[in-house]
Amino acid sequence: MNEHLKNRYQSLHVKPYALLLGAVWSVVVLISLGWNIYQLRNSYTQMALMEAVGSFNTNLFLQQWISRQGGIYAPVSKKIAPNPYLAHIAERDIETPSGRALTLMNAYYVIRQVYENLPVDAGIQGHFTSLKPIRPQNRPDPWETAALHAFENQVPEAHSIENRDGHPYMRFMRPMIVTEQCLKCHAEQGYQPGQIRGGLGVSISMSPFWTRMWSDLIPQFAGYGLIWCLGMAGIAAGARGLKIRILEREKMWKTIQESEELKLANDSMRQSLIAAAQVQRGFIPEKPPAIPGFRFEWLFKPSEYIGGDLLNIHPLGAHRWAFYILDVSGHGVPAALLSVSISHILDQLTIAPAEGMGNSRLGALTEEELDLGSLVQHLNQRFPGDKMMFCTLVFAILDTRDASVTWIRAGHEPPLLVKRGGLEMSYFHEPGVPFINAFGFAGHPQQTKKLFLEPGDRFILFSDGIIEARRGHQEFGYDRFAEITRETLPFPAGTALQTMVQRASEWAGSSEFVDDVTLLVLERTRDETVN
């Protein structure tokens, strides 16, 4: 192989594609393995749950049988003492003709004795509990308390995997319903037949199940490892074969062919980017929502087919609307992927609960409960990020009842409030919370702000793309942009946004911006009143 062909082959960058294919193959194998692990874990979890249910049913049948008999008698011993809670029963303690002392045991006493005398390594625990226990030992722990409250709300059962004494257990509980037999001991507590007296909980150790699961996984690891090795060997062989074929055909290639291939690749990439842009725009509302007394307008102009900016508007009940604008550092595909991911999480928070957000969707929170600082913390936890990429955000909530806007800024450009007549403007340059995806700022104190809109006022959110428009070494800047917002106040909101972008473009001497440009304006209209 002569030196010319070697150099030519190197210019074709075959190796990166082989490495990329190997990475894709590795991801596919890992995903498949992860899915199998997930399914296997679910299977063993269900097995543990079935075992817990079986144990519970056995206890239930035993309890019902003993209750129907009115209890059973057992010899008095160190472990079985007369039940003080049955002292009102005349025949609690009897003596056999041979002089053997017997004491009456109700169903719960029997089952409790069974569980208390199980060996430590049995891997099963049981516990009667109630919100109004007779025995102090029957007081519920936090998990049982939550389950008992759930039963009062018609939840039929509770189960989950919890750590107890440093070990995982499948915990299962169902409510215990008051019967006529129960009133022999619990009538003084005011119970009536059919009421929930408490619950019987069963805990099954997960350790044997996890041990069996990992035993099952060993051959899967070996199998998937073999599959991965075979795939990588095939990729390596294919790369070597491709290298040979390319070198053999090198002399036959012509400049026009290379150009044509490049054109086709560019066309394919362009079509892919156009399709991606359509997907990204699907996260932006098609038209402004109809809100009496208020109007939303926006402009979205990515610097490429797709960008790192996004915005959205969501209802939060009858009188509140959430709206936001976010800007991921950079632009193009990586920025778009992160912006869409963050936007999806923000949109979900308007309809679904989230950890760290009060376990409630935003629309269900009162003004006193709403903590936008926690929202930013939640996003920082979901997107730990790295030093090369971060996101800025302004998130706000409009309350149409008093025309108030509550908002928080995370690293983003300060919004503008342009008062009616354009005679007054607020810049909000005070520091906000740090960037989203900014690595360790969770727990930063909230810095939520609130303002009130009067008829004709405009609250404007914008990304830095418009103020960073350049003419030589000079930026368009915040002050020029703020002045244009004042000058365009008499225009309709949509026309005003178009004019802002046009003025910045004319100043820069180019219709293209180096960064994504996004603007979102909330206007309190002059011809509507707040309900």
Evaluate whether residue 323 is within a structural domain: yes
Buried b or exposed e, range 247-276, using 16+ CB within 10 angstroms: beeeeeeeeeeeeeeeeeeeeeeeeebeeb
In the predicted structure, residue 434 carries a pLDDT above the cut 90? no
Q: What is the mean pLDDT of residues 338-351?
A: 79
- What is d(CA 530, CA 316) in angstroms, rounded to the nearest whole number? 17
In the predicted structure, residue 52 carries a pLDDT above the cut 90? no
The total number of structural domains that make up the chain: 1
Q: Where in the sequence is the domain holding 449, given as residue range(s)? A: 284-524
Q: How confident is the model at residue 83 (pLDDT cuts 50, 70, 90)?
A: confident
504 vs 186: which has the higher pLDDT = 504
Q: How many CB atoms lie within 10 A of CB 450?
A: 12
Nearest to 326 by CA among 287, 387, 280: 280
227, two tokens? 């599959």
∠ CA(133), CA(137), CA(142), 5° rounding?
75
Evaluate whether residue 129 is within a structural domain: no
What pLDDT sits at residue 318? 84
- What is d(CA 335, CA 390) in angstroms, rounded to the nearest whole number? 9
In the predicted structure, residue 272 carries a pLDDT above the cut 80? no
Q: How confident is the model at residue 442 (pLDDT cuts 50, 70, 90)?
A: very low
Q: What is the mean pLDDT of residues 256-271?
A: 66
Evaluate whether residue 82 is within a structural domain: no
Q: How confident is the model at residue 187 (pLDDT cuts 50, 70, 90)?
A: low
137 - beta bridge partners? none
- What is d(CA 394, CA 322) in angstroms, rounded to the nearest whole number? 11
- DSSP letter at 8 equals H
Evaluate whether residue 216 is within a structural domain: no
Evaluate whether residue 485 is within a structural domain: yes
pLDDT digits (tens, 9 = 90+) for 158-169: 999 988 888 899
* Strand order across the 158-164 sheet: 124-129, 196-205, 167-177, 158-164
Evaluate whether residue 312 is within a structural domain: yes
Q: Are 62 and 111 in contact (CB under 8 A)?
A: yes
CATH code, domain with 300:
3.60.40.10
Evaluate whether residue 143 is within a structural domain: no
pLDDT digits (tens, 9 = 90+) for 406-432: 998 888 888 999 988 765 666 555 544
What pLDDT sits at residue 499? 92
In single-letter form, the type of residue at position 138 comes to N
- DSSP characters for 353-396? --TTTTTS-GGGS-TTT--HHHHHHHHHHH---BTTB-EEEEEE
Evaluate whether residue 132 is within a structural domain: no
Which range is most confident: 61-75, 110-124, 380-394? 61-75
- Average pLDDT of every residue of the chain: 80
